[in-house]
A and B are shown apart, each in its own frame.
Chain A
Amino acid sequence: MTRKQRRLVLIGGALGVLAIAAALVLSALRDSIVFFSTPSMVAEKNIQPGQRFRLGGLVQSGSVKRGEKLQVTFVVTDGNRDLPVAFTGILPDLFREGQGVVSEGTLDTAGIFRADTVLAKHDETYMPKEVADALKKQGHWKTEAISSAPATDGAQTVDSKVQ
C-alpha cells in the first residue's frame, strides 16, 4: 500500500469509529437524560404520570412520616407549590426537614411522586445547585442563611472525597 492508501485506511477507520460513537451518544441522549423540575414546574408543565424526572425543593417541616416496612412519605415544596413524595428505603444521612433535597422517580396517577432515589449530599450546608437556582427564582432564597454558607463554611473539597 502507498502512504496515501494507508492514510485513507486510517482516516476511514477513525471516521467510522467516530460515527458509531456519535450515533451511540445521540440515541443515548434521547433516551436516558432526566429533566429537573420543582413542584411549580411540575404543575406548569403538566408532566404525565410515568415520565421520569428529578424533583427538587425543600423538605417541608413536619411532613416526614414513616410507615410500615421502610416506607417514608414527605412533602417537597418550593414555596409556591407542594408535591407529596413516597419513597421506600433508607434516606441519606443528611436528609432533614427544612433542607434541600433532590429525588428521582415518576408521578403516579394519584399525583404522588414515587421516588426510587433520594440523593445524598456530603455537606450539611450544601444546597443542590438546581434547588438553589429554583428557589432564587421563586424568591424564597434565604440570603443570609444559605448563600453565606459557602463563604464562612469553607468550600468542602470534592476531590478530597470521591473523584
Chain B
Amino acid sequence: MIAEAGHYALVLALTLALVQASVPLLGVRIGDSALMRVSGATAVAQFGFSLLAFGALTTAYVVSDFSVANVFENSHSLKPLVYKITGVWGNHEGSMLLWVLILALFSALVAIFGTNLPLTLQSLVLAVQGWVAAAFYLFILLTSNPFLRLADPPMEGRDLNPVLQDVGLAIHPPMLYLGYVGFSISFSFAIAALIEGRIDSAWARWVRPWTLLAWIFLTLGIAMGSYWAYYELGWGGWWFWDPVENASLMPWLAGTALLHSAVVMEKRNALKVWTVLLAILTFSLSLLGTFLVRSGVLTSVHAFATDPARGVFILVILCAFIGGGLSLYAWRASSLTQGGLFAPISREGALVLNNLFLTTACATVLVGTLYPLALETLTGDKISVGAPFFNLTFGPLFVPLLIAVPFGPLLAWKRGDLVAAAQRLLAAGVVALFVLALVLAWTKGGAVLAPLAIALAVFVIVGALTDLAEKIGLFRLKMPLSAARAVGLPRSTWGTAFAHAGLGVALLGIVCETTWNSERIVSMKPGDIVTVGGYEAKLVGLTQRQGPNYRERVARFSILSDGRIVGELSPSKRSFSARRSATTEAALLTRGVSQVYISLGEESQDGSIDARLYYKPLVLLIWLGAVLMAFGGILSLSDRRLRVGVPKPARGMRPMQPAE
C-alpha cells in the first residue's frame, strides 16, 4: 500500500510540475498576474508530493518491505537502521528520487523566499524549474521506478553493497546533490533573464546567494566524497582523476567562475552576457555529470552496474536542456545591454582572469574525461586518460590562477594599481620565499617543484590574510580602532579571505601528501614491527568479530613513536554473506594534521597477513582547506547585502567600507 501511495504521489508531482512549467509561461505571455502566481503554489505542492514519495520509499526500507523490488535488491533486515535509511539513495532509483526531491526543494525555496522578486521573473524561474523537474519525474516513472513490486516477495533482501554501508553514504550524496541541483536555480534565472530580455545588477544580487549556497554544498560534498574514498577504498588515495570525480569537479570549477563573475555583474553591471552563459554551462555540466554517472558510458573505478537504456533517456534530457539553453542564449544574448567599462588592471580584470583560467581548466578536464569516449566512437580504440594527463594540463593552468588570487581583492574596481598591490603583498612574498628557502634547506636538494608549490600555497594563505590586515588597518592604526574596523568589515570580505586561504591550505596538504607520503606493503606475523614515516607499527594479534550482517577479521596494531605507544589501530576485513563480498576497513591514527593509515590484504596459510601501511603528512589539510572554503562561503552568504529576502538597504545606510 505504502509503495503505491509513493508511486501515486510521484505521478501527482509530475502533473504539478507540468502545470508549474506551463501556466506561469502563459501568464507572462498575456500579462495575467493570477496565472503567474500559480507557479509559487504549485512549486510548494510539488515539493510536498515528492517528499511524500521519498517518505514512502524510506518507510519501505525501514520496515524492510521486500515485496518492493528496490528494497529487496538493496536492503537486508539485519542491516543497522542508519544504513536502511541511507540505502534509500544507495541505488540508482532511490538516488534519482533524491535528485528530484532536492530540485523540488529548491523550487519551493524560491517560491517561499523569492517574494521580493519581480513577479514575472519569479514565475519564469519557477516555470523553468518545472520543466527540469518534469523531465526527471518522467525519467524516474518511465525507466527507474523505485516502487515496483515483486510478484512473490522473498523473505530476505540482497543487502546493500558493503562498500556503501558507511556513514559517508549518509552525508556525501545529499551534499553533492544539493550542490549539483542547486545550480539549477542559477540556470533557471539565466533562462528567465533571456526570455525576458532584461538583466541588471539586481538580477545578479538575486542569483548570487543561490549560486553560493549550491557552491558551498558542492565544495563540502566533493571534499566528503574524497575523504570517504580515502578511508573506505583502502588504497590511501584521495583523488583519482576518475570520470565520476571529474563529473563533480567540472560543475565546481564552472560554479566557482560563476560566483566571481556574478560579483562583477552585481557591483559593476558588466560581464552580463558572460555570466548568463556561465550559469547555463554550470548546470549543463551538472547534468552531464548525472549522465556520465548514470549511463556508465565511461569506465570508472567508482562505476557500478548501469543500464544503457537509462543513459539514453538522460542523454535526451541533457541535449534538450543544454541545447535549448544555448540556442536561447544565441538568439537572445544580443538583446542584453552592454555593461560598464573597466581597465584590464582592475578588480574586474582580475575576476575576468579568474574566470578565464577556471573555465579553461574546466575545459581541459572535460576534454580528458570525454576524449576516450570520442576516440572509441570514432576509431574503436579503447584508451584511458589517467592522472598524468590531468597533472600535466590542470596543474600548469592553476599555477597562474593561484599567483593571481591574492592580487584580486587588493585591486580597486574600474582601475587598479598593480604596483601598489604588489607592494602590499611584499610581506606575503617575503614569507613565501623564506618558507621556500627553509623547505629547500630541509629537503637538501630533493625535488624543487614541491618546495615551490609550498611557497605558492604560503603566498596564497598570507596574501589572503594581508587583504584582511590592509582593510582593518592592522599595525597601521591603533589596536582598538583596528578591532572596531574588523567588526564592521562586511562578512563577505571575511568570506573571501577565508575561502582564498582555504585554497592555499588545501594546496599545502595536496603537495605535502603527494611528495612525502610513505607507503609500505608488507606481509606481517603477530609480533612483527614495521617502520613507516617515523612511526613503528607492531602487529599485536588477529581476532575474529561478528557484526550485524557481516563477519570481520580484525588485526590489532600498536603504533609507537620513539618507543612510546601513541595509539592503537584495528583495521579489518569484513565479509558480507548476503552478497558474498568483502570490504577492507582501513584504520587511521590522526597525529596533528597527519595520519598513519593501515589497511589489510589477504591472510596466508602460515598465519601472516598482508598489510598496507602509510604515513600521510599533513593530509588532513586537503579537506580542512575545503572546509575553510565552504566556511568562507557561509560567511559571505550571511552578509547582510546578500541575505535572501532582505530588501537592500538605502545607499546612505551603507557603512563606509571598501566594497568586498
Asked whether A89 is an interface residue with its Cβ less than 8 Å from the other chain, the reply is: yes
- Taken together as a complex, chains A and B put the C-alpha atoms of A123 and B90 apart, in Å, by 12
Is B385 in contact with A29, judged by CB distance below 8 angstroms? yes
- Taken together as a complex, chains A and B put the C-alpha atoms of A52 and B473 apart, in Å, by 57
In the complex, which residue of chain B has the Cβ closest to the Cβ of A126? B305
User: In residues 586-640 of chain B, which contact A (Cβ within 8 Å)?
Assistant: 599, 601-602, 604, 610, 612
| Contact of A157 with B89 at beta-carbon distance under 8 Å, contacts A35-B382, A70-B521, A120-B233 already known | yes
In the complex, which residue of chain A has the Cβ closest to the Cβ of B338? A3
Asked whether B516 is an interface residue with its Cβ less than 8 Å from the other chain, the reply is: no
Indicate which residue in A66, A129, A150, A158 contacts B604 across the interface (CB closer than 8 Å): A66
Is B70 in contact with A154, judged by CB distance below 8 angstroms? yes
Indicate which residue in A21, A66, A123 contacts B161 across the interface (CB closer than 8 Å): A123
- Taken together as a complex, chains A and B put the C-alpha atoms of A21 and B630 apart, in Å, by 28
Cβ–Cβ < 8 Å partners of A34 in chain B: 383-386
Is B393 in contact with A21, judged by CB distance below 8 angstroms? yes
| Contact of A25 with B367 at beta-carbon distance under 8 Å, contacts A17-B356, A32-B389 already known | yes
Is B245 in contact with A28, judged by CB distance below 8 angstroms? no
Shortest CB-to-CB span from A129 to chain B, Å, is: 5
Asked whether B515 is an interface residue with its Cβ less than 8 Å from the other chain, the reply is: no
Asked whether B567 is an interface residue with its Cβ less than 8 Å from the other chain, the reply is: no
Interface string of A1-38 (1 = CB under 8 A from B): 10100100110011001101100110111011111100
Is B244 in contact with A159, judged by CB distance below 8 angstroms? yes
Asked whether A152 is an interface residue with its Cβ less than 8 Å from the other chain, the reply is: yes
Is B176 in contact with A159, judged by CB distance below 8 angstroms? yes
Indicate which residue in A18, A122, A160 contacts B173 across the interface (CB closer than 8 Å): A160
In the complex, which residue of chain A has the Cβ closest to the Cβ of B397? A21
Is A163 in contact with B385, judged by CB distance below 8 angstroms? no
Asked whether A90 is an interface residue with its Cβ less than 8 Å from the other chain, the reply is: yes
Indicate which residue in A33, A36, A124 contacts B580 across the interface (CB closer than 8 Å): A124
| Contact of A25 with B393 at beta-carbon distance under 8 Å, contacts A129-B299, A158-B293, A160-B90 already known | yes
- Taken together as a complex, chains A and B put the C-alpha atoms of A133 and B380 apart, in Å, by 11
User: In residues 305-359 of chain B, which contact A (Cβ within 8 Å)?
Assistant: 305-307, 310, 341-344, 352-353, 356-357
Q: When A and B form their complex, what is the total count of cross-chain residue pairs whose Cβ atoms lie within 8 Å?
A: 219
| Contact of A18 with B92 at beta-carbon distance under 8 Å, contacts A69-B523, A150-B306, A156-B305 already known | no
- Taken together as a complex, chains A and B put the C-alpha atoms of A37 and B588 apart, in Å, by 37
Cβ–Cβ < 8 Å partners of B523 in chain A: 69-70
Asked whether B178 is an interface residue with its Cβ less than 8 Å from the other chain, the reply is: no
In the complex, which residue of chain A has the Cβ closest to the Cβ of B227? A162
User: In residues 369-419 of chain B, which contact A (Cβ within 8 Å)?
Assistant: 371-372, 381-386, 388-389, 392-393, 396-397
Interface size for B (C-beta < 8 A) is 92
- Taken together as a complex, chains A and B put the C-alpha atoms of A158 and B92 apart, in Å, by 8
Shortest CB-to-CB span from A26 to chain B, Å, is: 10
From B218-226, B436-444, B641-649, give the one contacting chain A: B218-226
Is A21 in contact with B364, judged by CB distance below 8 angstroms? yes
Asked whether A40 is an interface residue with its Cβ less than 8 Å from the other chain, the reply is: no
Is B164 in contact with A163, judged by CB distance below 8 angstroms? no
Shortest CB-to-CB span from A62 to chain B, Å, is: 17
Cβ–Cβ < 8 Å partners of A126 in chain B: 303-305
Is A33 in contact with B306, judged by CB distance below 8 angstroms? no
Is A154 in contact with B74, judged by CB distance below 8 angstroms? yes
Asked whether B301 is an interface residue with its Cβ less than 8 Å from the other chain, the reply is: yes
Is B367 in contact with A125, judged by CB distance below 8 angstroms? no
| Contact of A158 with B304 at beta-carbon distance under 8 Å, contacts A13-B356, A32-B392, A33-B385 already known | yes
Interface size for A (C-beta < 8 A) is 60
Is A162 in contact with B245, judged by CB distance below 8 angstroms? yes
| Contact of A123 with B222 at beta-carbon distance under 8 Å, contacts A36-B384, A152-B73 already known | no
Cβ–Cβ < 8 Å partners of A27 in chain B: 392
Cβ–Cβ < 8 Å partners of A150 in chain B: 305-307
Asked whether B15 is an interface residue with its Cβ less than 8 Å from the other chain, the reply is: no
Asked whether A65 is an interface residue with its Cβ less than 8 Å from the other chain, the reply is: no
In the complex, which residue of chain A has the Cβ closest to the Cβ of B228? A162
Asked whether B461 is an interface residue with its Cβ less than 8 Å from the other chain, the reply is: no
Shortest CB-to-CB span from A46 to chain B, Å, is: 16
Cβ–Cβ < 8 Å partners of A21 in chain B: 360-361, 363-364, 393, 397
Most chain A CB inside 10 Å of its own CB: which residue of B304, B343, B383, B612: B304
Asked whether A130 is an interface residue with its Cβ less than 8 Å from the other chain, the reply is: yes
Is A28 in contact with B389, judged by CB distance below 8 angstroms? yes
- Taken together as a complex, chains A and B put the C-alpha atoms of A102 and B93 apart, in Å, by 28
Most chain B CB inside 10 Å of its own CB: which residue of A20, A91, A162: A162
Shortest CB-to-CB span from B401 to chain A, Å, is: 10
In the complex, which residue of chain B has the Cβ closest to the Cβ of A146? B305
| Contact of A121 with B301 at beta-carbon distance under 8 Å, contacts A3-B341, A153-B73, A163-B176 already known | yes
Cβ–Cβ < 8 Å partners of B389 in chain A: 28-29, 32-33
Seed contacts A27-B392, A28-B393, A154-B305; 14 additional CB < 8 Å A-B pairs = A17-B357, A33-B383, A66-B604, A90-B612, A91-B602, A123-B304, A150-B306, A159-B177, A160-B95, A160-B169, A160-B172, A162-B228, A162-B242, A163-B222
13 pairs from A and B in contact (CB 8 Å cutoff): A13-B353, A13-B356, A25-B364, A25-B367, A33-B384, A90-B602, A123-B305, A154-B74, A155-B306, A156-B91, A160-B89, A162-B225, A163-B248
The 9 closest A-B pairs by CB, nearest first: A156-B304, A90-B601, A32-B388, A36-B382, A154-B73, A162-B229, A163-B248, A155-B92, A28-B392
